């Protein structure tokens, strides 16, 4: 939960549609702080959402989070965050695809059986890198804006409920990448199961009350509260008021930088 100036919590919770059929949660996440990079503490967060039509969706999403985390960790051990380019990220995703190909071959399956979306954020004190394939969203606030804004809007495919996947051979055409000098102080990343709660689709912007309500517990928690905070987030994601809005799996990562100025809290609970 805590390392350096970052405090973070993450959870992936099965949706009611999968519970009814005896399925499993097909979402995965990873969130760590890399303390030894040339930039100082770097927050690394990854979310992957396995495709509902993929036989091994949960395995694909887990491999995606592990692979991207390993590639980023190795890169940042020797290089600054600002040196990450779109080409760098494409190489990380190709490494992931090679791992998927080996896994699929061993199981006599195809890479498409492990299809998943991919969202990632790497945040240093004065620089941030974001990339995404498919739906879900990354929402941030910084010391200057004092409000929440999305990095990428969820991307849909040609048809409703269709999107793009990190396992696609032509993934580069659908990869969105941003490297920017920015003092990010709070980060929220989530799979598409939370889009209707966390995003205002009419205004094409984050639903501000959701984020102003859900961040305060993360800001206030002590290191000893880590387990309770994670359980509280899981309970919230699996609650009736959330499941009334979505029957999909749900992943949410929340991170706040200690000692920085965050958006004011106007709500005691997430709406």
Q: What pLDDT sits at residue 35? A: 83
Mean pLDDT score of the chain, rounded to an integer?
90
Q: Check: CB of residue 52 under 8 Å from CB of residue 40.
A: no
pTM above 0.85, yes or no: yes
User: 15 pLDDT exceeds 70?
Assistant: yes
H/E segment holding residue 8: strand 6-13
Q: Check: CB of residue 64 under 8 Å from CB of residue 94.
A: no
Q: Residue 271 — pLDDT band, cuts 50, 70, 90?
A: very low
Query: Alpha-carbon dihedral of residues 98, 103, 106, 107, nearest 10 degrees?
Result: -140
* Architecture per CATH, 2-257: 4-Layer Sandwich (3.60)
CB-side neighbour CA atoms (13 Å) of 224: 0
* pLDDT tens digits for range 96-137: 999 999 999 999 999 999 999 999 999 999 999 999 999 999
Q: Check: CB of residue 117 under 8 Å from CB of residue 191.
A: yes
Q: What three-state secondary structure class fits 249?
A: coil
Q: What pLDDT sits at residue 178? A: 98
Query: Alpha-carbon dihedral of residues 81, 122, 70, 112, nearest 10 degrees?
Result: -120
* Average pLDDT estimate for 249-270: 71
């Amino acid at each position: 939960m805590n390392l350096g100036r970052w405090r973070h919590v993450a959870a992936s919770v099965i949706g009611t549609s999968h519970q009814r059929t005896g399925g499993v949660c097909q979402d995965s996440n990873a969130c760590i702080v890399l303390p030894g990079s040339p930039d100082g503490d770097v927050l690394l967060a990854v979310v992957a959402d396995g495709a509902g039509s993929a036989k091994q969706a949960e395995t694909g999403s887990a491999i995606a989070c592990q692979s991207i985390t390993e590639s980023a960790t190795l890169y940042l051990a020797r290089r600054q965050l600002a040196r990450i380019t779109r080409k760098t990220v494409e190489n990380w995703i190709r490494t992931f695809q090679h791992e998927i190909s080996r896994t699929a071959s061993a199981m006599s399956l195809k890479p498409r059986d492990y299809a998943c979306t991919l969202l990632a954020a790497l945040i240093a004190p004065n620089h941030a890198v974001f990339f995404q394939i498919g739906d879900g969203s990354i929402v941030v606030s910084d010391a200057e804006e004092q409000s929440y804004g999305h990095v990428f809007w969820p991307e849909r495919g040609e048809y409703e409920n269709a999107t793009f996947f990190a396992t696609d051979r032509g993934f580069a055409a659908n990869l969105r990448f941003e490297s920017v000098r920015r003092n990010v102080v709070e980060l929220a990343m989530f799979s598409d199961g939370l889009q209707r709660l966390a995003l205002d689709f009419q205004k094409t912007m984050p639903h501000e009350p959701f984020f102003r309500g859900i961040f305060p517990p993360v800001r206030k928690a002590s290191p000893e509260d880590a387990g309770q905070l994670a359980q509280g987030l899981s309970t919230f994601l699996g609650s009736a008021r959330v499941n009334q809005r979505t029957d999909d799996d749900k992943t949410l990562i929340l991170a706040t930088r200690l000692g920085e100025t965050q958006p004011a809290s106007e709500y005691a609970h997430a709406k």
